[in-house]
């Protein structure tokens, strides 16, 4: 995982769509998978998880959901940069956590397991 500045990344990757994980709470609210980048500096969720790999994002969002009893469902969406920017603004996030695919890099990351 790599923590990056979303403004710079999105400016340099205007055509790149990424997967974002979402969690549904018991109160029927959907929200993007976020984390605290540095717990020593505070407890505010400030980092949005994104990935070029559907499998990796699904794995991460499901692992986090297992740790939070109030989460009742997960979902992964393939979003355009403008949609990711909207999430960053709406939730006042400062960073993005790029979830990197594991393995030898032969998979295309599209979710189809092709090579």
Tens of each residue's pLDDT in the chain, 115 residues: 889 898 888 888 888 899 999 999 999 999 999 999 888 887 889 999 999 999 999 999 999 999 999 999 999 999 999 999 999 999 999 999 999 887 644 445 444 444 3
> What is the predicted pLDDT for the residue at 115?
38
User: Measuring CA to CA, which residue among 83, 108, 112 is closest to residue 6?
Assistant: 83
Write down the pTM of the prediction: 0.83
> What is the predicted pLDDT for the residue at 103?
61
> What is the predicted pLDDT for the residue at 104?
45
Alpha helices in 13-53 (DSSP H): none
Whether 45 and 96 have beta carbons less than 8 Å apart is answered as no
> What is the predicted pLDDT for the residue at 111?
46
> What is the predicted pLDDT for the residue at 101?
81
E strand spans, 26-111: 30-32, 34-35, 47-51, 71-79, 95-99
User: Measuring CA to CA, which residue among 65, 64, 62, 48 is closest to residue 99?
Assistant: 48
> What's the gap between Cα 40 and its chain centre?
22
> Which residues is 35 bridged to in the sheet?
47
CA distance 3 to 41: 15
């Amino acid at each position: 995982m790599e923590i990056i500045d979303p403004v710079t990344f999105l400016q340099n990757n205007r055509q790149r769509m990424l997967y974002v994980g979402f969690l549904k709470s018991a109160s029927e609210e959907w929200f993007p998978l976020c984390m605290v980048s540095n717990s020593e500096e505070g407890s505010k969720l400030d980092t949005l998880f994104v990935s070029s790999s559907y499998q990796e994002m699904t794995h991460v969002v499901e692992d986090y959901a297992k740790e939070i009893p109030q989460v009742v469902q997960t979902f992964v969406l393939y979003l355009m940069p403008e949609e990711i920017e909207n999430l960053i603004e709406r939730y006042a996030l400062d960073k993005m956590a790029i979830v990197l695919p594991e393995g030898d890099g032969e998979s295309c990351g599209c979710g189809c397991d092709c090579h």
